[in-house]
């Protein structure tokens, strides 16, 4: 049996998804019945629609660099949650560039195959510039 700290490290390590450039890499740790809400107005149940959207999107990128600005992870039994604030720099194949600061929540469940992503929600704050700062009490 793993310790809560080892479980937390395992679900944080799955953050390797942020370094992917294909749908297969991005969804490697996803459960077959995952529910996903993405930054564009898109949601999917299951891996296949998300994998296709990733592949279609990444096909336009020369590069995509994601820096994790904030990370908070917690594990409670067979459930784990990772919340991040990410700064993403994209270079398009057309030569254009994009910078996005986004928020992402990844919900994991320990299943027979280990930790699997069962829900992901990504968003970009609306209503102006945000530097990624999280305010705490």
User: Each residue of 65-98: pLDDT tens digit?
Assistant: 999 899 899 999 999 999 999 999 999 999 999 9
Q: Looking at the domain assignment, is residue 67 inside a domain?
A: yes
Is position 135 within any domain? no
Alpha-carbon Rg for the chain in angstroms: 15
Tell me the per-residue pLDDT of 20-56, one tens digit each, with 9 for 90 and over.
888 888 888 999 999 998 887 888 899 999 899 889 9
Domain that holds residue 26: 4-123
Tell me phi and psi for residue 97, to 5 degrees: -130, 155
Residue 132 located in a structural domain: no
Q: What is the CATH number of the domain that holds 39?
A: 3.10.450.50
Domain annotation covers residue 134: no
Cβ distance 108 to 126 under 8 Å? no
Question: Number of folded domains in the chain?
Answer: 1
- Does 13 reside within a domain? yes
pTM: 0.85
CB of 94 closer than 8 Å to CB of 120:
no
Helix spans in 14-131 (H):
23-26, 47-58
Residue 33 in domain: yes
- Contact between 86 and 66 (Cβ < 8 Å): yes
Q: 127 pLDDT band (50/70/90 cuts)?
A: low
**pLDDT over 70 percentage in the chain:** 96
Question: In a 3-state reduction of DSSP, which class is residue 125?
Answer: coil
Q: Is residue 136 part of a domain?
A: no
Residue 129 lies in a domain: no
| β-sheet bridge partners, residue 103 | 85, 123
């Amino acid at each position: 049996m793993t310790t809560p700290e080892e479980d937390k490290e395992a679900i944080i390590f799955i953050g390797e998804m942020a370094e992917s450039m294909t749908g297969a890499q991005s969804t490697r740790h996803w459960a077959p019945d995952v529910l996903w809400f993405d930054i564009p107005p898109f949601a999917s149940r299951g891996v296949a629609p998300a994998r296709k959207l990733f592949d279609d999107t990444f096909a336009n990128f020369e590069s995509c660099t994601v820096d994790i600005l904030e990370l908070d992870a917690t594990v409670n039994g067979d459930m784990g949650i990772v919340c991040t604030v990410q700064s993403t720099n994209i270079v398009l194949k057309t030569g254009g560039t994009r910078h996005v600061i986004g928020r992402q929540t990844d919900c994991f469940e320990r299943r027979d195959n280990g930790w699997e992503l069962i829900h992901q929600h990504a968003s970009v704050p609306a209503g102006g510039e945000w530097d990624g700062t999280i305010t705490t009490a």
